[in-house]
Amino acid sequence: MLAKRKKAVISRTQLVEIGGGFRIPEVMAQSGAKLIEIGTTNRVHLQDYQEALEQGAQVVLRAHHSNFKIIGFTAEPELPEIIRLAHSHGAVFIDDLGSGALLDTARFGLSHEPMVQESISSGADLVCFSGDKLLGGPQAGIIVGRGDLLAKIKKAPLARALRADKLCLAALSATLMHYLKGEAECRIPVWKMITTPLEDVEKRATQLREKLGRGNVKTGVSTIGGGSLPEETLPTMLLQLDVERADVFARKLRLSDPPVITRIEQDKVILDLRTVMPGQEEALAEAVQRAFA
């Protein structure tokens, strides 16, 4: 809607394909925008943006590397620099963040994931991000920013077909309320998993082994994943189960009520206790015992 029949700039370092096979160039083409690719697959400079804007570009898009990393001989300008340059040419700057982080992941021993607040404070006109992933709510797409631009977006014919229903809005509202109350770390599942101390995870793994009377507790890592923090992990404690057929046993657990999702390493079934919420241990133990039976 905002970029229809307009020149839109994006760096080649950001021409990503997201889950489900959706590709940024194809999405932009269907919006009616005339795509201007700048830079190379590993390096883009502020001068590249300058030249595109001088050629009449009216929209600048940044797509965050949500699920991959570019390492080695790389370069990308800082976000505030790009925004200032875009605004000096009267262009709209749109920041596609993906993960929806509202808390600083660096506080918990992870690399820093770009936060929505940072984009807004840097002057981005629109910021797009997920309602799930690191935000921790229902699957949804969220756009925040300038009121006049949001008003134009709301008038797009697809806005009605793609609008969130009442259940989605209720779940999203409840999730955001936890942030407003300062309780996201103790009430939102993804943040509870990230912030749980390793000693607590080890204690629960040991208790589960004692209850089952089998298995070995060992150190391991939990992958953050979910379209954010690529290759980032947290230390965890695992319960390793020796079974005759790991794939068959794991399938039994997936089909149990409630379903139990495990992983298989070296023909062993692995339970990651960082991903088990407090209060779920009893149901987990019963599911494992039924699978052995």
List the pLDDT tens digit at each of the 293 positions of the chain.
688 889 999 999 999 887 777 888 898 888 889 999 999 999 999 999 999 999 999 999 999 988 788 889 999 999 999 999 999 999 999 999 989 999 999 999 999 999 999 999 999 999 999 999 999 999 999 999 999 999 999 988 888 888 899 999 999 999 999 999 999 999 999 999 999 999 999 999 999 999 999 999 999 999 987 778 888 999 999 999 999 999 999 999 999 999 999 999 999 999 999 999 988 999 999 999 999 98
Rg of the Cα atoms in the chain: 23
CATH match for 196-292 among 3.90.1150.180, 3.40.50.2300, 3.50.50.60, 3.40.50.620:
3.90.1150.180
Every domain of the chain and the residues it spans:
7-187, 196-292
In 10 A of CB 40, how many CB atoms? 14
Instruction: Tell me the residue type at 122.
Output: S
Q: How far apart are CA 145 and CA 137, in angstroms?
A: 20
End-to-end CA distance of the chain: 58
Question: Among 116, 9, 134, which Cα is nearest to 62's?
Answer: 9
Q: Does domain 7-187 have CATH number 3.40.50.300?
A: no
